Structure 1
Amino acid sequence: MANTADFRNGLCLDWNGDLYTITDFQHVKPGKGPAFVRTKLRNIRTGRVIDNTFNAGVTVVTARIEKREYQFLYKDESGYNFMENENFEQFNLDEKLVPQADLMKDGQLVSVLVHAETETVLSVELPQYVELRVTYTEPGLKGDTSNNPMKPATVETGATIKVPLFIENDELIKVNTLTYEYDARVKEGR
């Protein structure tokens, strides 16, 4: 149990029969009337973000969520298969629980969010940045450098990312998994 004074980004609430994480909150004390807390809540199962206002001092039920590290093995007709690195136990997840699946390579380490009381897998989170090889992109036009032009590039996982004109086929790039944006070119042989 927690009250509105305990709110912080990332706190997980068991609210209205579902699990939500607080992505943003603001304590408001108007000149007239009681204080309240304005929040943005992200549904852990669906990813949908909603706005909600709580009266100051209201008690809410918190849920304990654990992040565990697993390795992505492969995708088949039944879903995405992961393995725990300590006891090599494997499990399968439905595609809707893996939001950034098109940026995930075989063998990649990911964080799996697990509801601690029920041991239910809620979702999978990739690291903020992943390194992927460009498999196909059109050659850039020389001299076209105005306004930071970008071109589409297909990476080894099949996702399409906008990259600068100087990026060529078979280059390794760093991609932000939250925004699907190119971040940097990766030097080979590090």
Structure 2
Amino acid sequence: MASTADFKNGLCMEMNNDIWSIVEFQHVKPGKGAAFVRTKLKSLTTGKVLDKTFNAGEKITTARVERRPHQFLYADDLGYHFMDTTTFEQIPIEEKLIERADLMKEGQVVDILIHDETDTPLGVELPPFVELLITYTEPGIKGDTATNALKPATLETGATVMVPLFVDQDIVIKVDTRDGSYSERVK
């Protein structure tokens, strides 16, 4: 058991026969009335996002969720296949449990969220940034760094991201996995 004072991003709780993770929260103390906590929750089983308000001090039931490192092996019609980096056990995971699956490349290590009591996978968490090679983009214009204009670029995984005009083909870039945006060139 925990209370709203224990809220932090990533905390997992059981509510309405589902497991929810806190995406963001805000403690609010209005000038008149009782304090409350405004939260944005994401279901780990369905991916549904819910806005919920809790009274300050309200008790919640926390869920034990482990993050275990796994290496991405390959994808086929059965799903995405991962190997546990400690036991070398392989598990398939459905694509709907993976957010931004188009940014994963073979051999990459990711964290798999596993419910501790039932030992079932709930989702896949990519690292905050990944380095990927640009396989195709229109030719860059030298010196065009003054504007914020963007162009599409296809990455080695097949994903498409918007990059600045000066970025060329066959360059490795860093991509933010949270929103799929270009971050910087890798030297």
2:12 corresponds to: 12
In structure 1, the residue matched to 2:150 is 150
Match for residue 31 of structure 2?
31
**Is 1:168 aligned to 2:164, yes or no?**
no
How far residue 161 of structure 1 moved from its aligned partner, in angstroms, is 0.9
Q: Which runs of 5+ in 2 are unaligned?
A: none
3-state SS of the aligned residue for 1:74? strand
**Structure 2: how far apart are the matches of 1:78 and 1:157?**
19
141-150 or 178-187, which moves further after superposition? 141-150
Letter of the 1:99 partner, please give it: E
- Answering whether residue 109 of structure 2 is matched by residue 114 of structure 1, we say no
1:133 is matched with 133
- CA separation of 1:165/1:57 partners in 2, compared to 1, >3 Å: closer, same or farther? same
The residue number in structure 1 matching 2:45 is 45
Counterpart CA distance in 2 for 1:21 and 1:35 is 22
Q: Distance in 1 between matches of 2:143 and 2:173?
A: 22
Q: 1:29 to 1:90 in 2, by over 3 A?
A: same
The structure-2 alpha-carbon separation of the partners of 1:73 and 1:33, relative to structure 1 and needing over 3 Å to count, comes to same
Greater shift in the superposed pair: 102-111 or 167-176:
167-176
Under a length normalisation based on structure 1, what TM-score does the superposition of the two structures give?
Answer: 0.91
Deviation at 1:136, TM superposition (A): 0.5
Identity of aligned residues (%): 60
3-state SS of 1:50 partner = strand
**Any idea what the Cα deviations from partners look like across 1:49-72, whole Å, max 9, x if unmatched?**
221111222211100111000000
In structure 1, what is the equivalent of residue 73 of structure 2? 73
For residues 13 and 129 of structure 1, what CA distance do their matches in structure 2 show? 27
Unpaired stretches in structure 1, ≥5 consecutive residues: none
Q: TM-score, normalised by structure 2?
A: 0.93
Query: Which deviates further from its counterpart, 93-102 or 138-147?
Result: 138-147
**1:61 counterpart SS class:** strand
Distance 1:142 1:165 in 2: 9
- Structure 1 residue runs of 4+, over 6 Å off? none
Aligned partner of residue 5 in structure 1, secondary structure: helix
How far is the alpha carbon of 1:146 from its aligned partner? 4.7
How many residues are aligned here? 187
CA distance, structure 2, for counterparts of residue 18 and residue 112 of structure 1: 18
Q: How far apart, in 2, do the equivalents of 1:135 and 1:160 lie?
A: 10
